[in-house]
Amino acid sequence: MTRQTEQNRTYDPSKVLPPGAAIGVLGGGQLGRMMALAGSGMGYRFVTLDPTPDSPCGQVADRQIVAPYHDVDAARQLAELADVITYEFENVDADVTKLLMAESYVPQGSKLLYTTQHRLREKRAIEAAGVKVAPYAEIGSVEELREAVRRFGTPCVLKTATGGYDGKGQWVIRSLDEVQEAYDTLSRARTELVLEQFVHFTKELSVIAARSPRGEVKAFPAAENVHVNNILHLSVVPARVPEEVQREAERMALRIAEELDVIGLIAVELFLTADGELFVNELAPRPHNSGHYTMEACRTSQFEQHVRAIVNLPLGDPGLMTPVVMVNVLGEHVQPLLDWIAKPEAEQVPGVTAKVHLYGKQEAKAGRKMGHVNLLATSHEAAFRWIEASKIWDAI
């Protein structure tokens, strides 16, 4: 039995929603788009709520409600149209979440959102699950920050407890001289701050785990992730780490999924140190960028698995069928990618099959995630040869 009591549960372990049911998606971005593409092939219908007309998810869903996320009337409309509701991002308005849980079926519930929306709550929940996180300290004043920096040493990382992604909402403190400026800058967010001891890692890994209301849990193979400018650049699978490290990373993710009573997916990001220790960095209660490789490389994609979990179908086999490198396509890479895939030589790198996914976003801005490419390959080296030959990511 997990830490949650029966009274805290928002899901029904015996409730199964068969194909034909309508799935509501709070959020209309690329994660919702790929979820809808996977689920519609299974026979489910989709309705999404997003403020941007013709959103990536709205382009492929049966219907889009165009309204702000905090619009209670729009949320009520979503509840009326959907048999089950899921979300594709964490920053869901609390009032909207409360309404949806009262008027619709939201098996993911609000407790996990409440936990993962706040870095301090998240770290405490991970520790309570018996899984290690890097040393951290809650910061309430510049004096507390200065004392914690002395204790942890530099570099260390100051973060806002809420908000922030892709490197936003954080400051790498490299000397005591930066303490005042770092505190003044991040405290403007008017939220708690947390200081994390810098982990001298050799690899960044992530594992996507799934859990259904019936209690079934499964984990996808661990991905090795490379970030550039705090944005995920590529994921390498299988991760280039010893097999026992892969197994331990997957075990940690499954334990978190069970102990936090997850329904749907949970992405667990980890640091691997030189001496083989694994520390959890962050959680994301949804499909994740580092799991996009599963779309062609695994027997079941993360998006199909998420749908299976929230409707309480048996979970699919997450097994890996081929080595794969997933590489992100940012705004500055779109035109070079379009030029490259039109050339015959794009398909002539031996041992590589490239699967291109573009998200349907209207404006290609530099640094904005616009798509990804899954390189199914006989080896990682072959995939890297394709990346080098394309010259798309030369600046990186």
Give burial (CB, 10 Å; 0-12/13-18/19+) of 226: middle
Whether 166 has a binding-site annotation, put simply, is yes
Whether 331 has a binding-site annotation, put simply, is no
Whether 165 has a binding-site annotation, put simply, is yes
CA distances from 340 to 258, 292, 369 (A): 44, 21, 18
Whether 30 has a binding-site annotation, put simply, is no
State the DSSP string of 141-156: SHHHHHHHHHHH-SSE
Whether 227 has a binding-site annotation, put simply, is yes
Whether 89 has a binding-site annotation, put simply, is no
Whether 58 has a binding-site annotation, put simply, is no
Task: Identify which of 309, 316, 318, 317 has the alpha carbon closest to the alpha carbon of residue 15.
Answer: 309
d(CA 271, CA 277): 8
Task: Give the other-Cβ count within 10 Å of 377's Cβ.
Answer: 23
Whether 183 has a binding-site annotation, put simply, is no
Whether 343 has a binding-site annotation, put simply, is no
Residue in the block written with tokens 């018996």: 130
d(CA 260, CA 390): 43
d(CA 91, CA 295): 25
Whether 8 has a binding-site annotation, put simply, is no
**What b-and-e string marks burial along 54-90, b requiring 16 or more CB atoms within 10 Å of the CB?**
ebbbbebbebbbbbebebeebbbbbbebbbbbbbbbb
Whether 355 has a binding-site annotation, put simply, is no
Whether 312 has a binding-site annotation, put simply, is no
Whether 32 has a binding-site annotation, put simply, is no
Whether 199 has a binding-site annotation, put simply, is yes
Whether 233 has a binding-site annotation, put simply, is no
Whether 282 has a binding-site annotation, put simply, is yes
d(CA 295, CA 306): 12
d(CA 223, CA 245): 11
Whether 361 has a binding-site annotation, put simply, is no
Residues within the annotated binding site for ATP?
119, 159, 164-170, 196-199, 204, 227, 281-282
- Known binding-site positions: 119, 159, 164-170, 196-199, 204, 227, 281-282
